[in-house]
Structure 1
Amino acid sequence: MSEIKKAVSKFETVRRYYNLPSIPAFTGEAIRHDFGRNVGIVGGEFWSEYYELLKNSDGLAADGVYFFGINCEKDLRAYRLIENNRALSEPGLEAPGFERLIYIGTSNTDSFVYNTSNQKWESRDRIGTDTVYESHDSLAELLNFEADKLVASLED
């Protein structure tokens, strides 16, 4: 089982605990998108890792922690990758702290991003985005780190 599948499984464990349904996989083709904010069209590492997540679950959501999907529906519509990144570039809503970052998720305290400058998957302060809490070499590491915190909270 891949490390991303392990993280998805942990998120699903938390969702079952709260009697929430599973999130279906994204069934579309791999995506190319211009994220703006000096990110441009990203290929390679970002999409290969993120698409692996999407093939297992079109986003992740459990106990206030969200990793964005592509076509997620119903209660998760607000947690779409393309739309959330597009909003950060809208006139009047620009987010200067997100230059060179792809916004991939959120929690009560954190923004989860892919840093195109150093190719790291990061957890940053949601308000002061310059503050990096965690930095990981792969999406799987970030997902498992967050999933392990969620699973541990069930045991408390």
Structure 2
Amino acid sequence: MTDIEAVVIMINRLADQLDYQKNPAYQGPLPYYDFGRKIAIDQPHFWREYGAFVRLTDGFEIDGTRIHGIENHGVLEYNRLKENNDWLTLVPELYNDSMDGLIVIGADGTDTFVYDTASQRFEARDRIAIDTAYSSYGTLAELLAELVKQLMDVNQ
């Protein structure tokens, strides 16, 4: 199992190396939000994993890879978990039943990063064919470690 604290240290080092913004830790209460899209309100695994992450750094965007935080931070004004999921639920043109049961936590140019509430796994899925999961992880730290590895490989 990968440690979330170690992964956040790697994220912050990479942000420094590539001159990207580092977000502060989120200090407020976790929202335990109703995401809609056939997602039960009670998601303890998601909030335990995601909560541990935002308590260390409230999301990030590095070289086109974005993981949503809870609050707005500078250039990441539209990087909020709640708002990004609301758009998928409440804007009719954006609603896609393939997103039912998925909490969107971020994206890059080709993939959407989600928490699948049915399997309780964090996944990288094709941005267009969202039904296709390229990789699946038991913890958010494992997904983030893979994203950091990919970013490091591309930016060497």
Shorter-chain TM band: over 0.9
Deviation digits for residues 66-114 of structure 1, max 9, x if unmatched? 1100002221121110000000012332122211000000001100000
Q: Give, in angstroms, the shift of residue 17 of structure 1.
A: 1.6
CA contact (8 A) 2:23 2:73 kept: no
Q: Give, in angstroms, the shift of residue 42 of structure 1.
A: 3.0
Q: Give, in angstroms, the shift of residue 30 of structure 1.
A: 2.1
Corresponding residue number in structure 1 for 2:54: 54
* Higher mean displacement: 22-31 or 108-117: 22-31
Q: Which AA in structure 2 matches 1:127?
A: I
Q: Which runs of 4+ in 1 moved over 4 A?
A: none
Equivalent pairs counted in the alignment come to 154
CA contact (8 A) 1:10 1:151 kept: no
Q: Give, in angstroms, the shift of residue 154 of structure 1.
A: 2.5
Q: What secondary structure is seen at the aligned counterpart in 2 of 1:76?
A: coil
TM-score (norm 2): 0.93
Q: Give, in angstroms, the shift of residue 65 of structure 1.
A: 0.6
Q: Which AA in structure 2 matches 1:81?
A: L
Corresponding residue number in structure 2 for 1:120: 121
Q: Give, in angstroms, the shift of residue 149 of structure 1.
A: 1.2
Deviation digits for residues 41-64 of structure 1, max 9, x if unmatched? 133110011000000001022111
Q: What secondary structure is seen at the aligned counterpart in 1 of 2:85?
A: helix
Gaps of 5+ in 1: none
Identity of aligned residues (%): 36
After TM superposition, list the pairs within 5 Å mapping 1:1-156 onto structure 2.
3-90=3-90, 91-155=92-156
Q: Aligned partners of 1:22 and 1:35: how far apart in 2?
A: 27
TM-score (norm 1): 0.93
Q: What secondary structure is seen at the aligned counterpart in 2 of 1:74?
A: coil
CA contact (8 A) 1:11 1:61 kept: no
CA contact (8 A) 1:105 1:112 kept: yes
CA contact (8 A) 2:61 2:67 kept: yes
